[in-house]
Amino acid sequence: MTVNEEKPLRAIILYDSRSSGGSTDRLIDAIGHELVESGAYVEKARCRANADYSFLREFDLVILGAPVYYLVVGSRLLGALVQSNLKKYLRGKKIALFLACGSPESMALTLYLPQIKVHLFTNRILSEKIFAPHQMDDPDTVGEFVEEILEEYEKADRGRAGSLQVQWDDEASEMVNAMPSFISGKIRSALEQYALQNGIKVITAEVVDEARSSPMGI
Ligand SMILES: Cc1cc2nc3c(=O)[nH]c(=O)nc-3n(C[C@H](O)[C@H](O)[C@H](O)COP(=O)(O)O)c2cc1C
């Protein structure tokens, strides 16, 4: 993965942990180090449940993570997702998630990760990772996580550049805008993808109907 040197990727690691200098702090430093090595500009910030998260406007990528304590994901991160404007400023952002915990991965994926993801179902999640205690200080595991984030970021960015080449007429745009917000973004991207693949420059109501009955089944 190469980061554009003229406009480096701006990433923030937004995390929660009860301890200072504990395993999560070390993990965050390792993730940050890998991102910086790849040419990104990186900051880190600890979550507070009632902070103002408007500073997220400055970042292209948000990496959210926390440990699990007594079966619950870090309460300041969950609190921020519920009580603050965090969800508002995460809208439209590319996101990666990680958890640090001692339970088996299968348990973390079914019991812990959904505690965060339930708040982010409209976001594009580039990568998600459960770090077991022995993996938090393992440079290869951290490196693979960061590599996947950067690869998926690049893909998403290429998709966005492609979508800028496609126009929407008013009727088609209204059709998609009338859909519930949790689905309209996905339908919009799928239709832009369909248009790009079929050399269509303007998405009209006819194109929407055509795409619906295509094998892509939009
Ligand atoms: C008090 C306490 C409770 C924990 N509860 C859980 C738990 O319910 N499930 C789990 O998978 N891991 C649990 N863990 C493991 C932590 O999530 C893991 O060790 C994490 O890396 C701790 O991060 P920290 O060092 O930044 O505090 C617990 C750890 C502590 C200290």
pLDDT of residue 56: 97
Report, as an integer, the average pLDDT of 171-200.
84
51 and 138 in a common domain: yes
Measuring from atom 16 of ligand 1, which residue has the nearest CA?
101
Query: What is the average pLDDT across 112-137?
Result: 93
> Residue 66 pairs with which residues in a beta bridge?
99
pLDDT above 60: residue 125: yes
Over residues 140-152, mean pLDDT: 96
| 32 and 126 co-located in one domain | yes
Structure-block tokens of residue 16 = 């929660």
Which residues neighbour 204 within 8 Å (Cβ) at sequence distance 6 or greater? 169, 171, 172
Q: Tell me the CA end-to-end span of the chain in Å, nearest whole number.
A: 31
**Closest atom, ligand 1, to C-alpha of 22:** 25
Mean pLDDT of 37-45: 97
Q: What is the pLDDT of residue 90?
A: 95
- Predicted confidence at residue 178, as pLDDT, reads 84
In a domain, 3, yes or no: no
Task: Could you list the beta-strand ranges (E) of the chain.
Answer: 10-15, 41-46, 61-69, 72-73, 94-100, 124-131, 167-168, 202-203
Does one domain contain both 72 and 145? Answer: yes
Judge if 190 and 95 occupy the same domain.
Answer: no
Residues 47, 112 share a domain: yes
The whole-angstrom separation of Cα 129 and Cα 65 is 9
Question: Are residue 22 and residue 81 in the same domain, yes or no?
Answer: yes
Residue-number span of the structural domain to which 82 is assigned: 10-158
Between the CA of 55 and the centroid of ligand 1 the distance, in Å, is 29
Give the end of a domain, one of 113, 135, 158.
158
The reply to whether 58 and 145 lie within a common domain is yes
Q: Give mean pLDDT, residues 27-55.
A: 97
**CATH code: domain of residue 176:** 1.10.8
Q: Tell me what pLDDT residue 117 has.
A: 95
| Same-domain pairing of 139 and 198 | no
Q: Give the integer Cα–Cα distance in Å for 110 and 202.
A: 41
Are 149 and 178 contained in the same domain?
no
In a domain? residue 94: yes
In terms of pLDDT, which residue wins out, 182 or 175?
Answer: 175
Substitution site in 75, 77, 99, 101 for ligand 1 pocket (most atoms within 8 Å of beta carbon): 101
Query: Would you say residue 2 has pLDDT above 50?
Result: no
Q: Would the pTM of this model clear 0.85, i.e. be above it?
A: no
CATH number for the domain spanning 58: value is 3.40.50.360
User: Same domain for 140 and 59?
Assistant: yes
Same domain (yes/no): 87, 150 = yes
Nearest to 121 by CA among 45, 50, 180: 180
Q: Is residue 40 part of a domain?
A: yes
Position 1 in a domain: no
Question: In the predicted model, what is the mean pLDDT of residues 18-25?
Answer: 91
Same domain, 86 and 127: yes
Asked if the structure places residue 63 within a domain, the reply is yes
Domain boundary pick from 141, 158, 175: 158
Question: What percent of the chain clears pLDDT 90, i.e. is strictly above it?
Answer: 66
- What's the pLDDT tens digit per position in 186-213? 888 889 888 888 889 899 999 999 988 8
**Residue 4, domain member (yes or no):** no
Q: Give the contacts of 215 (CB within 8 A, at least 6 positions apart).
A: none
pLDDT at 39 over 70: yes
In a domain, 43, yes or no: yes
For the chain, give the mean pLDDT.
90
Q: Which of 17, 26, 31, 68 to mutate to test the pocket of ligand 1 (most atoms within 8 A of CB)?
A: 68
**Residue-wise pLDDT tens digits, 150-170:** 999 998 877 666 666 788 998
Count of domains for the chain:
2
The closest of 138, 1, 142, 122 to 65, measured between CA atoms, is: 142
